[in-house]
Amino acid sequence: MHDYPFVFNLTWLIPLPTALAFFAIILFTNPKKRLSSNVAIAAVVVAWILSWAVAFAFFLKPELVEEPINIAVPWLPIADGYFSMGVAVDAVTAGMLFMVGFVLTMIFIYSSGYMTFPGHLDPEQFPEVAKEGLDPRYSRFFAYISLFATGMLGLVVADNLLMLFIFWEIMGLCSYLLIGFWFEKTYPDPNQITPKQAGLKAFLTTRVGDVLFMMGLIFLFIHAGTLNFQAIFKDAHFLEELATSTVTLPIFGAVSWAALISILIFWGAIGKSAQFPLHVWLPDAMEGPTPVSALIHAATMVSAGVYLIVRMAPLFAASSHAATGALPFVAFIGAFTALFAATIGVAQKDIKKVLAYSTISQLGYMFAALGIGAWVAAIIHLLVHAFFKALLFLGSGSVIHGVEHGHHHVHEHGHGHDDEHGHEEYFDPQDMFNMGGLLKRMPITGWTFIAGALSLAAFPFITAGFWSKDEILAHAWDGGHMAVYWALAIGAFLTAFYTFRQVFLTFFGEPRTEAAAHAPESVRAMTWPLVALAFFAIFGGFVAVPKEFPIFGKIASDFMLHLMEMQGEIYPFLEVEPAKFNWTPALISMVLALSGIVLAWLVYGWKPLKAGQPDPLKRWLGPVYTVLEKKYYFDELYHLIAVRPTLWLASFFARFDRGVIDRIVNWVGAFGRWLAAALRKWFDERFIDGVVNIVGMATTWTGAAVRLIQTGQVQTYLLILLLSVAVLLLLIPLR
Amino acid sequence: MVGQVLFILVAAITLLMALGAVVAKNLFHAALFLVGVFFGIAVLFILLDAEFLGVAQIVIYIGAIATLIVFAIMLSKNVMGKEAGAYNRNWYAAMAGAVFLFLLLAWLLLKAPFQMVSADVPADAITQIGQGLVGTYVVPFEVASVLLLVALVGAIMLARER
Amino acid sequence: MTVPLSWYLIFATALFSIGFFGVLARRNAIAVLMGVELMLNAVNVNLVAFWRYLTPTDLSGQIFVVFVFAVAAAEAAVGLALMISIYRTRKSINVDELNELKL
Amino acid sequence: MDLRSIGEAFIAWLQGLGIPQGWVLLINWLLGTLIILGFALTLALVLIWLERKLAGRIQDRLGPNRVGPFGLLQPIADALKLLTKEDITPADADRITYNLAPIIAVFHILMMFAVIPFADRVVGANINVGVLYLMAFGALGTMAMLMAGWASRNKYALLGGFRVVAQLFSYEIPIAMVMMIPVLLVGSMNLNEIARGQGSLFGLGWFVWVMPAAFLLYLVAALAEGERAPFDLLEAESEIVAGYNIEYSAMKFAWFYLAFFLNTWILSAVAATLFLGGWQGPFVDRIPALGVVYFFGKTFFMFFLFAWIRATFPRLRIDQMMAFCWKVLVPMSLALLLGAAILVKLGQQLAWPFAVTGGLLFVMNVVVLLVTLSLLGRYTRTLHQQQNKRLFTPELPRL
């Protein structure tokens, strides 16, 4: 082992505090809600400090990229030697630790303010809990997110694919638990998905990807004999062999092992990162509490998919080295999803659904970047996106919280004219058309949200999102991937449009409901994480500005870009050439982004919507709008091709079971009864009973004989013991 | 020669004392005989060049255990009814068993081939015992200390009046 | 070293048997305890004798005796405490009256 | 002149007579035993006279002054009186035990004389486990008093026996722990080695300088072990008449009396050896005979202290005495032993000069003493405030 600073010995401790917090909360502090949240926050702060200690130790010593730190212990004896488990730190891990530690902490703190008594529960039903003002399952929530944080941190520091998979599945479990956190919640509209169903949907959908991922993992292990990242990916010879040896599949024909494993693993990422065609779970996952949306569906879990592909990039690159390989597939899925999700985002009414689709879309950007070889750009976008998307989600949560509070406020004080109908009529606090003019009511939330929105819309020069997205587009242009470029560029335009549609609908104009008019600013535990995140959403990009970029290249730093490039260079096959700067794509994307913002202002900002007024887009786009609003009918399609046949098959088997199997079983049973009756009469009553009686009598006789020595006195027993031992000792010489 | 005579003397006295301890009808006398046995064994330990154990035997067995027994006898004075004998009904069987056990064990022990090693006891024997207790045998040592603590607590719990 | 090992062994065996007889035959619980102490002492004599004659340079034999001391002390303390509490409830510590083990 | 050379010369002379080696040793042993026994018994007479005289002076009396010059022959007259008095054995007494008890009482003290180093290597049996040996035979004394108390068939005697067990058992714990501290410092249980280990500083490097608190603790516990005032609860006349020896008369009583004084002297000698350097003193390496002078000087100084305390202090209540042992002395001795063990080990590992270790030990002692005293002071103050609360409730504690 080479020398490394002592602080890296702490790496394995990073996932530990939150895991301990999970057990502590579940086992001990569960009844004390505030204590539970404090335990969880303390744990995540420790994890954050450890993460940053490790991350900065790495940033301060960039030469470590040559020989990433790997500390492992033999864990599981396998055929020849041990399967080692351990932690590894390279530049990618360090970057992820930097982001994950911070974002997790912000979300934890935010949650402690957010998880108040939920709106869907009747306070009169739980007077005790409602008086306390906290969610009835407040402690449990913090236990879950602690476990989730363990999963994410463990995944980031894992040094092998199996350990990564284990933590990956822990996160899957947590996402199921957290999405369905308010499992008792129902809606008046039976077609609207409930949290319970949404959790199930997310779990089952990602399972499709995970099974394929595990197949890929097993194939990789069969070929490599190890799953350690460094061991596999630094071995150029092995990768070459994997890329050239082929396997013949039923439909696809001959493909290289590398391509097959890559694509199987990529399916895992598709499921986790909600890429087309497994994207359907993510929008519905918005049923969970908003911090969960931020935690799982923006900053951390979905980016785990991207992280996985970043980790496995040498394998992907190797697969495309000789033949077509896996990269074009990745690029296609990414670019398609980026554009596809952006179009859906345009027509959503729910403030969180818009963000959900934008997440899908942005993840598509990252996959597209990975597909076209822009490895570094993908990592940078991954990190930057996490900051501003977490910010946006937390901001939207703050908005929803405010509107909900406003709603309650109106009801309690009874100065709304629809007071009598208030209880029957369902009020959706997440519908943007119920909002408006919130910037005045919630200034901190509003301004930080706008900062995040600017970053997401890639507002030129001053936002982090611009630099990371520009890098991807520059790569696409530079590498000659025109289809990808245009898909992403149009996606960028749409992103800017729907983002600012959201901003204008929510924060500008006049309040469209009483609830919005009375929305209060959120508590400090919720606002200051927003401020902290906004800082990174704006300025986080200035460590990744290309040197050649005019003006900004001189004044900002390209530290992160450079570090990741150096990291990428140690792997064979992976090309990490920085894109050459070109004015054409940069100007095009800038113009598109700005025009998206302007268009949004024209439609929603210039003449703010009045209460009850429909979306003007609906008028102009007509049926297309409906298609978009219904998300291209993907849910219905899946229902038709997957859920319905399954249900039909199940009912068919149920009928078959009742009609055929049950009859056979009944007949066998009847025969058995007849046989048993016959046997009992002729065999049991005569023979068996006789034997049993003899045994019983024998026991009685023996007992009567033996009870003589059971005096109840220890000394007698000892005497018998002595005699027995003496007999045994006598046997020794006789042997 | 002197050693043999000394051994026979001490051993004979000790065995007689031991017999007294199990035969004496008066429990207090039995306990005193027991003290004599402990003392005799301490002398035997010293004859075997184990001075430390010999002295420790006196401290622990006479100073602690025998005193405790005498104390308990004094606390339960006149416990034995006058009419009751010292032995239970099975005493002849026990006697036969004990004699048989003695003969058997003696026979076995005499038959067993032991590999004698004649060497002097190390000069720093006590140091070695101490180091052994906190070195090789540190786990049993700690277990024994915990055992004593538990015995202490247990004895208090058992004997206190409720 | 003029005394043969076998003498010590015979002595210990005799002591052990006497102690065992005490355990088996005495009616009084304290006397039984005294028998147990005799047996433990017999074991100690054997341990020391074996140490002296078979492995004089390795002090493990003596260390074992120290452990036996500890066990004997614990046994005496708990045993006598038990007797006191039995005496308190039953006004007797005759072993042959303690036959609760018999149903 | 070396005292030891006398013995060696005697052995050489015997061998010169052509007597076999084994017999020479035997004769030597017997002779040595006789010398020590004779010395001890003579010593007792001196001690009795000394104590009575001292007590008299302290209490503003004359003390014995009739028989012989300064009353010097008074103990002999007493002994003659006791020898001629009627020897009474209670009718109901357990005869053998009754007669055995005083013998053991004296015997165990005399056994202890064997390991006391009177001068360098002038010691009856220079054994390696000397300190443990002292404890062993000290414990035997408990047995003698128990026997006396039980065999007398007298309820006061029996109560005295119970008190023996309670008091002597309890105080054996702190005294044993404190006796282990010099053993730790020297690294040997041999009393002669311990005395030799205090030879630094021109023969004045006694352990009392580095472990004053331990010495003080030994002094207090020794008062209890020696059944001396203010801890003479075993024979508190106002409570249990005379304790375990109530039924003894004449010469049997004299033996207990003898044992009592010799025990005090042995405790003084042990204190002198363990803490005051034993035979160590200036110039003892050049003139070995000085060792005897130093040793007896120190021992009699200690004896004087004991007598002084006995003559001045009133008797404690039994519950106070027990509480003082278990709540003050035992924790304090544990703290001292632990501190000494840690410091000595540290000193060995870090190769400190003894001055540093000694200084730290001294500081540790002072700290332990001050903490103990302040806790004790606070406790007594609160006790005074709640007047009716007693220090020790005689029932067993409820857990």
Task: Specify the residue for token string 């703290």.
Answer: D335
Q: Which chains reach chain B with 3 or more Cβ–Cβ distances below 8 angstroms? A: A, C, D
Q: Which residues of B touch D100 (CB under 8 A)?
A: 32
CA dist., res. D147 & res. B36, Å (int): 13
What pLDDT, on the 0 to 100 scale, is given for residue A391? Answer: 87
Amino acid residing at A333? I
Q: What is the pLDDT of residue A45?
A: 92
Residue A696 CA to residue A609 CA, distance in Å, equals 93
- pTM of the shown model: 0.55
Query: How far is Cα B156 from Cα B153, in angstroms, rounded to an integer?
Result: 5
Q: Where are the beta strands (DSSP E) in chain D?
A: none
Q: What is the mean pLDDT of residues A651-661?
A: 85
> Do the chains B and A touch each other, judged by at least 3 C-beta pairs below 8 angstroms?
yes
pLDDT digits (tens, 9 = 90+) for A423-439: 445 677 777 777 877 88
Q: Are residues B27 and C30, on separate chains, in Cβ contact within 8 Å?
A: yes
Sorted by where each begins, the domain ranges of chain C are: 5-97
Kindly report the nearest CA distance between residue B142 and chain D, in angstroms: 17
pLDDT for the residue numbered A419: 44
Q: What is the pLDDT of residue A733?
A: 65
Please give the pLDDT value at position A672. Answer: 92
Instruction: Give chain B's largest Cα–Cα span.
Output: 60
Residue B78 has pLDDT above 60, yes or no: no
Position A588 pLDDT exceeds 50: yes
- When CB atoms are compared, the residue of B97, B104, B111 closest to A719 is B97
pLDDT at B37 exceeding the cut of 90: yes
pLDDT of residue B81: 46
Distance from CA of C1 to the nearest CA of A (A): 30
CB contact (8 A) between residue B125 and residue C59: yes
Per-residue model confidence (pLDDT) at position A424: 46
The DSSP H or E segment spanning D293 is helix D290-312
Q: Are A185 and A194 in contact (CB under 8 A)?
A: yes
CA dist., res. A279 & res. B159, Å (int) = 73
Contact flag B69-C30 (C-beta cutoff 8 Å): yes
pLDDT band at B83, cuts 50/70/90?
very low
Output phi, psi for D283, to 5 deg.
70, 5
Q: Measured between CB atoms, does B161 come within 8 Å of chain D?
A: yes
Q: Which of B28, B35, B56 sits opposite D132 (nearest CB)?
A: B56
Residue C100 to residue A712, Cβ atoms within 8 A:
yes
Least confident of A231-235, B145-149, C41-45, D216-220: A231-235
In angstroms, what CA-CA distances link A377 with A98, A541, B45, B82, D396?
17, 11, 84, 102, 79
Say yes or no to pLDDT of C101 above 70. no
The C-alpha atoms of residue A648 and residue C60 are separated, in whole angstroms, by 77
Residue D89 CB-half CA count within 13 A: 13
Taking all residues of chain C, what is their mean pLDDT, rounded to a whole number?
83
Residues 6+ apart with CB under 8 A from B148: C70, C73, C74
- Three-state DSSP class for C2? coil
Supply the ipTM of this predicted assembly.
0.62
Six token digits for residue A224 = 């490599």
What average pLDDT is seen over chain A? 82
Q: CA B47, B53, B55, B61: dihedral to nearest 10 degrees?
A: -110
Q: Which of A177-181, A585-589, D90-94 has the highest mean pLDDT?
A: A177-181
A-chain CB neighbours of B95 within 8 Å are none
The secondary structure of A479-506, three-state, reads CCCHHHHHHHHHHHHHHHHHHHHHHHHH
Contact yes or no for D143 and B70 at CB 8 A:
yes
| Under 8 Å between Cβ of A407 and A427 | yes
User: Is the pLDDT at B79 greater than 60, yes or no?
Assistant: no
Strand partners, A88: A70
Residues A188-209: pLDDT tens digits? 777 778 888 888 888 888 888 8
Asked if A712 lies within 8 A of C102 by C-beta distance, the reply is yes
What residues of B are in contact with residue D162 (Cβ under 8 Å)?
Answer: 71, 74
Residues of C in contact with B60 (CB under 8 A): 69, 72-73
- How high is the pLDDT of residue C98? 64
Average pLDDT over residues C76-94: 78
Work out the percent of chain C whose per-residue pLDDT is above 90: 18
**Which positions of chain D have pLDDT values less than 70?**
1-4, 236, 386-399
**Distance separating alpha carbons of residues A712 and A238, to the nearest angstrom:** 76
Q: How far is C27 from chain A (nearest CA, A)?
A: 9
At what angle are helices D95-113 and D21-58 packed, to 10 degrees? Answer: 100
pLDDT in tens, A78-97: 777 778 888 888 888 888 88
Nearest-5° Cα angle at A169, A163 to A175: 140
C-alpha distances in Å from residue B3, one per residue of B44, B55, C1, D167, D170: 11, 19, 8, 40, 39
Q: What does the pLDDT look like over A603-624, one tens digit per residue? A: 877 777 776 777 777 777 777 7
pLDDT tens digits for range A491-520: 888 888 888 888 888 888 777 777 777 777
Helix or strand (DSSP H, E) at A198 = helix A195-224
Give the helix, strand, coil percentages of chain C, each rounded to 5: 80, 5, 20
Distance CA D157, CA B26 (A): 19
Residue A542 gets which letter from DSSP?
A: G
End-to-end Cα spacing for chain A: 60
Interhelix angle for A33-59 vs A16-24, to 10°?
Answer: 170
**Would you state the structure tokens that stand for residue D369, as one six-digit string?**
């003493």
Is residue B82's pLDDT more than 50?
no
Higher pLDDT pick, B142 / A252: B142
Mean pLDDT over A645-668 rounds to: 86
From the options 3.40.1160.10, 3.50.50.60, 1.10.3080.10, 1.20.120.1200, give the CATH code of B1-80. Answer: 1.20.120.1200
Q: Say yes or no: B28 contacts chain C, CB-CB below 8 A.
A: no
Classify residue A239 by burial, with Cβ atoms within 10 Å: 0-12, 13-18, 19+. Answer: buried
State which fold the C5-97 domain adopts: Helix Hairpins (1.10.287)
What does the pLDDT read at residue B47? 86
Residues of C in contact with A710 (CB under 8 A): 102
Residues A713, C98: C-beta atoms closer than 8 Å: yes
Please state the rounded mean pLDDT for residues A715-724. Answer: 81
| Averaged pLDDT, A195-224 | 86
Q: How confident is the model at residue C44 (pLDDT cuts 50, 70, 90)?
A: very high
Q: Are the C-beta atoms of residues D192 and D117 closer than 8 Å to each other?
A: yes
Alpha-carbon Rg for chain B in angstroms: 20
Interchain pair B111, A719: CB under 8 A: no
Contact C78 B49 (CB under 8 A): no
Q: Are C13 and C49 in contact (CB under 8 A)?
A: no
